[in-house]
A and B are shown apart, each in its own frame.
Chain A
């Protein structure tokens, strides 16, 4: 017995203590410092309200969907439905539970969305691929219907909308653009950190195994059905919080119509353009999707404004948007995040390829 142990190569003495070498992420820290301290000083109302807040919320929503689609391999086009659950649940909690602090309400909204997501994840046990995708459409339409049909969800308002309750944290008013920006930023940063760790944990690795081939995953002992449902729940948790932020930190007022099928497609675009199965990809994809129409609109105004009919400019923008999407899909199937990585590799050896 003793001999046997000695014949084996020494396993632990020279193995690295950390599997992934730990480096201080200077770039990321710099970005965080910039986002937390410089942006609130520099950013105008327009930048905060119309660009940065929606960008951050969409990134979070993309992250939520990416956990489900990019990591666990379950395509969903019902993302906006779960966002609606989060928004309406958070609203209901703040309205009906007096004195509930904002973070608790947000997490509560997320948990309720997670429960709903779990339920809609049940069919994933039997249904796969495009068939599953269309069943998530059922969730989308059903949830939209629920939140227009039953006035209890929006406190019987005749407009059918829910509007932001007072955004307060420990007595500090967060309803200014900077306050809403910081609220969003902190939430997104925290949840991103959680997600990064989640996908490196056991469950994240299970998901990737399922994504790559669920039959094979089942063969090696992963409880496929349970983990798929968990993916739906976790993804919906993220989407729910993103929905609450979309409604209260960004729009101010929301109705079921704010979470329609087009929003679901938009989020799907984000993860596909950004990169499936990548955390950073969500941010890049969200930046692309939310900035491109604005850039195109300014470009249209500046280059063609006045000389060409305004409607034609809009149609042209739409076509350019579609063309760009196809072009990216053709050029880089793994998303912008891969494009940037390969650009970096090329730059590393530029100009001398040696």
Chain B
């Protein structure tokens, strides 16, 4: 305990009492606030840090190279959420009114607990939430969840993509009959989310659906993989998260299960997941809506204008083009494109939450647009509507070669039609529990 830290606390206490927003970054009226609820400490920091770098680098690129979105520049501020609900709420409450007059158009909760906790609050404050690759699957139904956007790939679509990939490899859906497909999952809401769709698909295609839970945090998994070994499945769908992924890959190797028969899911698909597994990870497959790689057009632009000029937020340049860095790029790009879409209707000025939501619901990023913004190949075409808050529903499968990810497929699309009834049933149940009257999507423009 030193005198200086005591002083700083005193100073902070004074600031809290005088209050207002105590930021040093002065925002001009013509700026759009981009709140960043980050997690840089704690158990998940290693996956978070590259994401924030991707987001910040892209925003910086938009500001400095493209002069903002139609002249509206971004201003951002961070708040540590520690991947928890209560800190996430604190950050949200701190940010929701904007920053010195710069409004919030779109909010990224960044973390499942915060996403769930903010769902109701954001609806009350009319601020849209983007949850790429997490959050409520049933929020795909925008008529019940106007402010939640689980864009690109929900867990249901992910399960379907996995089965479709396996069918591709086996040579057709008819070959799935009698196959054994095991899911080794993190025993949490996230892990159990695919049980419903896999059940449905197992009935449809006639494969055997084996579910094996791994308890959090999952740093000892010999019991689970012994069960896998005994069941002798043809494929394993690995739906772990954090430390449980490298441990799973290593333990699989210990029990002699081949890595190229394991397909990791969106949260088991990053460099951070396979690096600690060392050689055991060679051949490991993973599906992801934001594949790794630094050869995409946007990487060239960012490298030239941001990275090489030393303006990048990345501490470790090796992470440039890593899966999580690219996820940050895509997360930021969706928000930027949604704001652009909103500006077409509301004029070239900073947007409010309501206008940001309109922009998201009318977002249409097609292949031509993807080429313009340099995301072709990295990001799938995305078209959202009131009825469909997911939009994409595709992922690429990548394979780890011991040093980097190599793409082994193009976009594998989910069979969203088959799964939609499950989603509608869930969202209807939610609407009933909460007493929400779904809006009529045919009347939305």
Contact = CB atoms under 8 A, between A and B. Distances in A.
The A contact surface, by secondary structure, is helix
Contacts of A149: 187
Nearest to B136: A159
Contacts of A218: none
A324 interface: yes
B429 to A, nearest CB: 8
A46 B19 CA distance: 11
Contacts of B97: 46
A44 B185 CA distance: 42
Interface in B139-195: 187-189, 192-193
Contacts of A296: 9, 12
Given A305-B24, A327-B1, A258 B93 contact: no
Interface string B83-120: 00111011001101100000000000000010011111
B78 A310 contact: yes
Nearest to A255: B189
B433 interface: yes
Bin chain A's interface residue count: 35 or more
A297 interface: yes
B373 interface: no
A149 B120 CA distance: 25
B240 to A, nearest CB: 15
A295 B24 contact: no
B416 interface: no
B137 A158 contact: yes
A145 B188 CA distance: 9
A252 interface: yes
Contacts of B87: 293
A253 B90 contact: no
Contacts, number: 136
A299 B41 contact: no
A323 B6 CA distance: 11
Interface in A295-328: 295-299, 301-303, 305-306, 309-311, 314-315, 317-318, 320, 323-324, 327
Contacts of A302: 11-12, 15, 22, 24
A49 interface: yes
A80 interface: no
A55 to B, nearest CB: 11
A159 B116 contact: yes
Interface stretch (A161-169, A199-207, A236-244): A161-169
Interface in B112-140: 113, 116-121, 136-138
A332 interface: no
A251 interface: yes
A298 B15 contact: yes
Given A254-B85, A297-B80, A298-B15, A314 B41 contact: yes
Interface of B: 1, 5, 8-9, 11-13, 15-16, 22-25, 38, 40-41, 45, 49, 52, 77-80, 85-87, 89-90, 93-94, 96-97, 113, 116-121, 136-138, 187-189, 192-193, 196, 215, 315, 426, 430, 433-435
Given A163-B433, A318-B41, 5 more contacts: A50-B94, A157-B430, A250-B89, A251-B89, A315-B40
